[in-house]
Amino acid sequence: VKSIAVLTSGGDSQGMNAAVRAVVRSGLYHGLKVYGIQRGYQGLLNDDIREMDLRSVGDIIQRGGTILQSARCQEFRTEEGQKKGAEILKNRGIDGLIVIGGDGSYQGANKLSKLGIKTMGIPGTIDNDIAYTDFTIGFDTAVSIVVDAINKLRDTMSSHERSSVVEVMGRHCGDIALYAGLASGAETILVPEVPFQLDKVAERMKENFAHGKRHSIVVVAEGYGKADDVVESLNKVGGIDARVTVLGHIQRGGTPTHNDRVLGSRLGDFAVRRLIEGDSGKGCGVINGELIATDIDKVVNSKKPFNMELYELAVRLSQ
Ligand code: F6P
């Protein structure tokens, strides 16, 4: 490849900018022309494409969001949309594309690969729901934000001997709830991967309060259900005073942690090098510290395994 483009697509995540910076600077380092596409696949279809230089990605590694902006694009899900996108890239002489995003973004990259554009996917989402990588870019920052919020909730919950039910993002994946719950010493972690009856949560809470606990934290993944429903059912049981906190999009903002910046930088550079080697239709990831590229078909058709060992640990430690 001689000329590559990069776009960010789907829900943004902290560390996407580090990945964009790495793609641009690594591409330039290897003598490629590098283009940035604004607003994901929608921007591609609008030909909203500009050439990037070293300075276009200066002062962004520490910023949340994505300087390339993002969008969810319906038109690109159609065959006509995909063909139009491939044509636009070809007309501009762009033969490689790096897509930073989640599942839907990967599927688009796969389609373009089959239309003759060399593509690589980089996992950018706070959800940590992409297979063939231990972590996605943004997950570490999102978990830190949740942990920080729970630390604050603990203070006021203890003062009032209340229970806090905190709803976190993750779409169908319980990883944000799992990691944040373990890291913040939550009493109960409700995730879609593990069936858990709400009456058991209430029983446990009452027992723990009877044994001297002054507060309790329940973390509920949005894929499990709504914090409002959990609180409603807990408050029906006598003696429990539960409150709802829905953290929402706060989890997607703010400066990325060093882990997300390092991950974004490594994956951005790796994707460029794989394109230069002629690879295409792959999703990049890091497993046990090693960079790997896996067929996108395989990535999108696999479910990331849930870390039961961590879940069981959290249960054992929350007695
Ligand atoms: O995929 C990232 C994510 O933040 C999910 O955790 C959440 O379900 C969804 O996006 C929210 O989407 P939107 O930003 O479109 O409201």
User: What is the average pLDDT value for the chain, to the nearest integer?
Assistant: 96
Pocket test of ligand 1: the residue of 12, 129, 136, 171 to mutate, having most ligand atoms within 8 Å of its CB, is 171
Which residues are annotated binding-site positions for Mg(2+)?
103
Q: Whose CA is nearest to atom 12 of ligand 1?
A: 11
Ligand 1 centroid–CA 45 distance in Å is 23
Average pLDDT, stretch 276-302? 98
Hey, which of 8, 16, 126 would you mutate to test ligand 1's pocket, going by the most ligand atoms within 8 Å of its Cβ?
Answer: 126
* Residue 59: pLDDT over 90: yes
pLDDT (0 to 100) of residue 303: 96
Left (φ > 0), alpha (ψ -120 to 50) or beta: where does 46 sit?
Answer: alpha
Is 169:133 a contact under the CB 8 Å cutoff? no
Q: Measured from the CB, is residue 125 less than 6 Å from ligand 1?
A: yes
Kindly report the protein residue whose alpha carbon is nearest to atom 2 of ligand 1. Answer: 11
pLDDT at 214: 84
Ligand 1 pocket residue status of 266, Cβ below 6 Å: no
For residue 204, the model assigns a pLDDT of 85
pLDDT digits (tens, 9 = 90+) for 134-182: 999 999 999 999 999 999 999 999 999 999 999 999 999 999 999 999 9
Give the Å distances, CA to CA, from 302 to 152, 173, 281, 292, 294.
Answer: 37, 13, 16, 16, 11
Alpha helix (H) residue ranges in 115-188: 139-160, 175-183
Q: What is the pLDDT of residue 219?
A: 98
* pLDDT over 90 at 199, yes or no: no
For the Cβ of 102 lying below 6 angstroms from any atom of ligand 1, the answer is yes
* pLDDT tens digits along 83-119: 999 999 999 999 999 999 999 999 999 999 999 999 9
The pLDDT, as a whole number, for residue 24 is 99
- Which pLDDT score is estimated for 198? 86
How crowded is residue 35: how many other Cβ atoms within 10 Å of its Cβ? Answer: 21
User: Any idea of the CA torsion for 192, 198, 203, 207, to the nearest 10 degrees?
Assistant: 40
* DSSP SS3 for 222: coil
CB-ligand 1 contact for 130 (6 Å cutoff): no
- As a 3-state breakdown, the chain gives helix, strand, coil percent values, each rounded to 5, of 45, 20, 35
Determine the distance separating the centroid of ligand 1 and the alpha carbon of 218, expressed in angstroms: 21
- Please choose from 146, 169, 172 the residue to mutate so as to test ligand 1's pocket, defined by most ligand atoms within 8 A of CB: 169
Mean pLDDT of all residues in 57-83: 96
Answer yes or no: is the C-beta of 124 below 6 A from any ligand 1 atom. Answer: no
pLDDT exceeds cutoff 90 at 197: no
pLDDT at position 80 is: 97
Q: Given the CA of residue 222, which atom of ligand 1 is nearest to it?
A: 8
Q: How high is the pLDDT of residue 207?
A: 86
Task: Please give the distance, rounded to the nearest whole angstrom, from the Cα atom of residue 210 to the centre of ligand 1.
Answer: 38
**pLDDT-derived band of residue 75, with 50, 70 and 90 as boundaries?**
very high
| pLDDT score, position 246 | 98
Residue identifier of the C-alpha nearest atom 13 of ligand 1:
11
Residue with tokens 């009452």: 206
Structure confidence by residue, pLDDT tens digits, 4-15: 999 999 999 999
- The reply to whether ligand 1 has any atom less than 6 angstroms from the CB of 170 is yes
C-alpha–C-alpha distance, residues 245 and 228, integer Å = 9
Question: What average pLDDT does the segment 185-205 reach?
Answer: 91
In whole angstroms, give the CA distance from residue 285 to residue 130: 9
Enzyme catalytic residues: 127
Q: What is the mean pLDDT of residues 217-235?
A: 96
The annotation places the binding site for ATP at 11, 72-73, 102-105
pLDDT band for 239, please (50, 70, 90 cuts): confident
Sheet holding 188-190, edge to edge: 188-190, 216-221, 163-168, 242-246
Ligand 1 lined by 145 (C-beta under 6 Å): no
Complex ipTM over 0.95: yes
**Alpha-carbon separation of residue 87 from 84, 92, 116 (angstroms):** 5, 9, 10
For residue range 293-313, list pLDDT tens digits in order.
999 999 999 999 999 999 999
